Amino acid sequence: MAAGTDCPPFATYKHHGPQRTAADYERVAKDIAAILDRPGYDDGSIGPVLVRLAWHAAGTYDRKTKTGGSDGATMRFNPEKSDGANAGLEHARAFLEPIKAKHPWISYADLWTLAVSPPSRPWAGPRSLGPLDEKTVSAKDIPPNGRLPDAAQGASHVRDVFYRMGFNDREIVALLGAHSIGRCHSDRSGFEGPWTYTPTRFSNQYFKLLLNTKWVPKTLANGNKQFVDEDDEIMMLPAEMAFVFDDQFKQYVELYAKDKNVFYADFAAAFGKLLELGVKRAKTKL
């Protein structure tokens, strides 16, 4: 899923400075791919935290007010930067700083989303016209906190959050598949542990585990409640258990657990849609 794994096609754009070609973006993608392996960090890869960065940058979009989204990379500023839902993402942003320093022409909005552009879904830039425009971000451009999902809530909350962005139930479950990689940290999200036994490999294992594991409630030291398998090796969040209790959601969990190819196709489409929310583009595309 991360850039370089299967680099998507790039278009040629003209914005601030010289014209940028497909080769320019491909070089950035390859440089990102080169830093993904990180011994000593989580499970040896920074790919999952980069996915979370792009997801949270885009997931603030409100289709009614046309505010939020990845354009402008507003997570660089408060209050969005200090939103509890974004705890720990300062690490993801820092991981990409050397890439930004090497390619100063690319905007942060493009850098953050290019880092996790889904294979088979063409990535397009620029989101902002360029770094100069990102310097003009004002307080009115920064979305309010509270727009990202609360993992302790249930199905109605999940629908409220995703319907606000313009997703339907099938797309919501497909996007949930991002949890096939990565893990939670008690000092960030307030929850702890990986969702799957292979947290650096993207697959449909997540859905199989969600359906077939005997989940046991567990209260963490901080008072938060989550669900773990009987050996306490993997976990699920309260909001995720709603996907097996809600029949509308469950039908898609079952579909993706059964057919990984359908899941891959649906995820690429839904995640690509997520990254496009609220994006304003340069009028000149060459």
Any residues with CB less than 8 A from the CB of 125 and at least 6 apart, and which?
10, 11, 13, 25, 106, 107, 110, 113, 114
Are the C-beta atoms of residues 207 and 177 closer than 8 Å to each other? Answer: yes
Helix axes 260-276 and 247-258, enclosed angle (nearest 10): 120
The three-state secondary structure class of 86 is helix
- 55, 56, 112, 123: the catalytic one is 56
Question: Phi first, then psi: what are they for 193, rounded to 5°?
Answer: 120, 165
> Which of 112, 123, 195, 215 is the catalytic position?
195
Exposure letters 225-254 (e unless 16+ CB within 10 A, then b): ebbbbeeeebbbbbbbbbbbebeebbebbb
φ, ψ for residue 255 (rounded to 5)?
Answer: -60, -50
Catalytic residue list contains 195: yes
d(C-alpha 147, C-alpha 169), whole Å: 18
Name, in order, each residue with C-beta under 8 angstroms of 208's C-beta and a sequence gap of 6 or more.
Answer: 257
- 34, 27 contact by CB (below 8 A): no
Q: Pick the closest to residue 264 from 6, 45, 53 (CA basis).
A: 6
Q: Which residues are identified as catalytic?
A: 56, 195
